[in-house]
Amino acid sequence: MAIKDTIEDSGDVFPTESTLFGKYELGKLLGYGAFAKVYHAREILTGKSVAIKAINKQRLLKSGLTDQIKREVSIMRKLRHPHIVRLFEVLATKKKIYFVMEFAKGGELFTKLSKGRFSEELSRKYFHQLITAISYCHSHGVFHRDLKPENLLLDENWNLKVTDFGLSAVKEEQIHSDGLLHTLCGTPAYVAPEILAKNGYDGGKIDIWSCGVILFVLNAGYLPFNESNLMVLYKKIYNGDYRCPKWMSFDLKRLISRLLDTNPCSRITLNEIINDNWFRKGFKNVKFDELSVCDGGGDCDSDGNKFLNAFDIISYSSGIELSSLFGKLEEKATFERFVSKMAADAIIAEIEIVAIEEGLIVKGKKEFKVKVEGRDGKLIVAVEIHRLTEELVMVEVQRRENEGESESDIWKKKIKDRLVYKLDELVDG
């Protein structure tokens, strides 16, 4: 598909140019959903293939799924595993959000499975890879909650890659006082019986149930629970009513029976799966060097200094508020952010010079922070600076509201105009 055709078919998802932010050459449409479309693209500098998920921000806001996108970004940033699709960066304009992700050349596992069931050996290979990925997620407090073959991709070497963390839960954020999750989610045929009971559930246990359904599908070629009537389907799931095909080995049937145990308390654990006789055949634990990432999102340079992602920049502008780095504002204070081309130390120096000229007090001066107070000891302005790239920084400002001609006007009249590099020029230019 030509670039021009892709842009027209996408409903103007991309800018009118053939590249996105001058960094990615756009390619064919790979798939789409209600709020997003996924495209193949090529990184111009390296020639590397990537997948770009383009999300309509306005539709996202109307649908009330902002928290879901926040969660997906937060989770994917901290997961670095050979069997999990990597999120490289998130770009954004005022209208669109773009996830730049690892490109899985082999497509969906579901597509390969639709051509016929897998042998036990091949089923075991993919189950090995799935369990190592899910074990890694759980060790990082992440529960996927929507595992199914459509969310399992294959790379160019036909190795499995888990994707789509939009319905995932983070342990410390989503568990109620009873220690359980309560959000109803998942795909009907893969949903665990305890979710249907609506009494709360363990996120790790429901992932294990879904892994059991996936393993069944890999070797059987069909779903263990499959009914057109949703209530009949849920009744079968709740009762654990399924039949294994005759070609399944005894050891595989036994493992599936423990994976699809309707009682989450006695359902097999990840450690027990890894020590299971059927599973252990040919199993080699994945060894890899997990890439270091900065806490709280963003990326790091070689010295470990935090850079904000372009997604953070646009999220602070109007339309979709995803975070706040300043916390509670002081009384009668306003809050603003802007992007500057000046270095952080130059900005601090500029503020300090003006403060001295005006006879004001500089306090709390650090490498990326400074406070200026008036002669009455009241805050005039507090500034914190975050690096975006080698050339750009984001300046966050908390200042006292103007009260006529006063010291509080100094920020607006004497400092700000020297520092600002308009955000619109960065994201739309």
Which pLDDT score is estimated for 316?
47
Query: Which position has the higher pLDDT, 204 or 326?
Result: 204
Which pLDDT score is estimated for 427?
38
pLDDT digit string (tens) for 59-94? 777 776 676 777 777 778 778 899 999 888 887 777
pLDDT at 424 over 80: no
Which pLDDT score is estimated for 252?
97
Which pLDDT score is estimated for 259?
97
Same domain, 235 and 127: yes
pLDDT digit string (tens) for 282-314? 998 777 655 443 444 445 544 445 555 555 554
Which pLDDT score is estimated for 42?
93
Q: Per the structure block, which two tokens stand in for 225?
A: 């629970």
Q: What angle do CA 393, 397, 401 make, to 5 degrees?
A: 155
Angstrom distance (rounded) from CA 146 to CA 155: 20
pLDDT at 142 over 70: yes
Same domain, 258 and 123: yes
**Whole domain around residue 135: which residue ranges?**
107-280
Which pLDDT score is estimated for 276?
96
Round the CA-based radius of gyration of the chain to a whole number and report it: 26
Q: What is the CATH classification number for the domain harbouring 366?
A: 3.30.310.80
Angstrom distance (rounded) from CA 44 to CA 58: 29
Q: Let me know: does 110 contact 150? Beta carbons within 8 Å.
A: yes
Same domain, 62 and 115: no
Question: Tokens 């806490």 label which residue?
Answer: 295
What letter would DSSP give residue 20?
E
Angstrom distance (rounded) from CA 257 to CA 246: 15
Q: Please report whether residue 238 resides in a domain.
A: yes
Mean pLDDT across the stretch 181-206? 76
Same domain, 137 and 247: yes
Q: Let me know: does 104 contact 161? Beta carbons within 8 Å.
A: yes
Q: Please report whether residue 309 resides in a domain.
A: no
Where is average pLDDT lowest: 68-82, 341-355, 393-407?
Answer: 393-407
Q: Which of 5, 9, 12, 146 is catalytic?
A: 146
Q: Please report whether residue 168 resides in a domain.
A: yes
Q: Which residue, of 244, 263, 280, is where some domain finishes?
A: 280
| 23 Cα distance to chain centroid | 21
Same domain, 207 and 276: yes
Q: Please report whether residue 318 resides in a domain.
A: no
Same domain, 169 and 265: yes
Which pLDDT score is estimated for 4?
31
Same domain, 70 and 217: no
Question: Tokens 């020297």 label which residue?
Answer: 418
Mean pLDDT across the stretch 265-293? 83
Q: Let me know: does 394 contact 388? Beta carbons within 8 Å.
A: yes
Mean pLDDT across the stretch 176-203? 70
Mean pLDDT across the stretch 119-148? 92
Angstrom CA distances, 297 to 77, 168, 172, 266, stand at 7, 17, 16, 37
Question: Tokens 């800018």 label which residue?
Answer: 15
Write the DSSP string, 110-122.
Answer: HHHHTT-PPPHHH
Same domain, 231 and 150: yes
Angstrom CA distances, 109 to 30, 147, 173, 247, stand at 14, 12, 31, 22
Mean pLDDT across the stretch 161-186? 60
Angstrom distance (rounded) from CA 51 to CA 86: 10
Q: Is 427 helix (H, G, I), strand (E, B) or coil?
A: helix
Q: What is the CATH classification number for the domain harbouring 194?
A: 1.10.510.10
Which pLDDT score is estimated for 198?
73
pLDDT digit string (tens) for 42-65? 998 899 999 998 888 777 777 766
Q: Which residue, of 280, 295, 315, is where some domain finishes?
A: 280
Residue 202 annotated among the catalytic residues of the structure: no
Same domain, 73 and 168: no
First to last CA, the chain: 26
What letter would DSSP give residue 4?
H
Q: Please report whether residue 293 resides in a domain.
A: no
Q: Looking at the 3D structure of the chain, how many domains does it have? A: 3
Same domain, 217 and 92: no
pLDDT at 261 over 70: yes
Q: Which helix (H) or strand (E) holds 49?
A: strand 49-56
Same domain, 161 and 75: no
pLDDT at 135 over 90: yes
